[in-house]
Amino acid sequence: MASRLCLLLLILCGPNVAQCGLRVYNVYARGIRPDPGNNNGDGYVRMSCGPVSTTTHVVFNTPNPNWHEELHYYGASPGNYLELRVYDKDVMFDDLLGICATNIQRGTRKQYCSLSKGGYLYFTYTLS
């Protein structure tokens, strides 16, 4: 009887064991370069992993924005694709300044990448 109970627990809990908690935080950029008509830029970031995404607030009029929002995803697994897109907020259409992407791994990792329109994006993630 005890072995059947253990088997039942393994079957019921098995899929959840592989899932982890992802936290993306400490997101900031340095030297972003928006379109020529806007000297400093009004930056924001769209973060996504799997079905979960969030958009930061806009930091106005600076080439060096800091965002304090976080992305949390409790169904993450090692190897999942994490993408951060940096935009410059404009009246008509927002400009994509660059994309940072990585396949996540367990532990805490500090990442940075060069943005296609200039500047760098920095962020930290923890997958536990």
Token digits for 49? 């992993």
Average the pLDDT over 96-104 and give the result.
98
Average the pLDDT over 1-5 and give the result.
45
Residue 6's pLDDT is 37
Domain spans of the chain? 20-127
Token digits for 125? 């993630």
Residue 18 has phi, psi (to 5 degrees) of -80, -15
User: pLDDT, tens digit, for every residue of 6-55?
Assistant: 333 333 344 444 578 999 999 999 999 886 665 788 999 999 999 999 99
Residue 58's pLDDT is 97
State the pTM of this model: 0.82
Q: Hey, how many other C-beta atoms are within 10 angstroms of the C-beta on 8? A: 10
Which fold does the domain 20-127 belong to in CATH?
Immunoglobulin-like (2.60.40)
Paired residues of 44 in beta bridges: 87
Q: Which of 56, 60, 62, 52 is nearest to 26 (CA)?
A: 56
Cα distance between residue 84 and residue 102, in whole Å: 9
Average the pLDDT over 73-90 and give the result.
96
Question: Is 50 exceeded by the pLDDT of residue 91?
Answer: yes
Residue 9's pLDDT is 33
**Residue with the larger pLDDT of the pair 112 and 91:** 112
